[in-house]
Amino acid sequence: MTSNTHKNIVSVFAYGNLAHFLYYIDMELCDLNLDRWIYRKWDENTVKKFPHLTVELPPRMRLGQVWDIMEDITSAVAFIHDDHEIHRDLKPSNGTLTTPSSLFSDR
């Protein structure tokens, strides 16, 4: 894997086996995932931290947010694929949102 990073990929600090059948990944903590954003399931702290993502918007403006998120997703996936890696579990509950989206782990 390349040593380069991508703004839309969360950092993995460590990973390994805890026992024969337990595997762990120590990675960057993300406050809001794509699934919670789609279904608007956020708490007061999330609203305070990400007002630009949680404010009620007219449909056309929300569509602009969706477009930006889709660009972030495709940019991160392209970065991963350029490094000859695949995500293998791409779904909204695995996608995280921050100021610009940070969407994927690198492994």
Report pLDDT digits (tens) over 33-86. Answer: 888 888 888 889 989 998 988 888 898 898 999 899 889 889 999 999 998 888
1-5, 47-51, 82-86, 95-99 — which is least confidently predicted? 95-99
The answer, yes or no, to whether residue 21 has pLDDT greater than 70, is yes
Domain residue extents for the chain: 9-105
DSSP collapsed to 3 states, the chain: CCCCCCCCEECEEEEEECCCCCEEEEECCCCEEHHHHHCCCCCHHHHHHCHHHHCCCCHHHHHHHHHHHHHHHHHHHHHHHHCCCCCCCCCHHHCEECCCCECEECC
- pLDDT at position 101: 41
Residue-level pLDDT at 3: 53
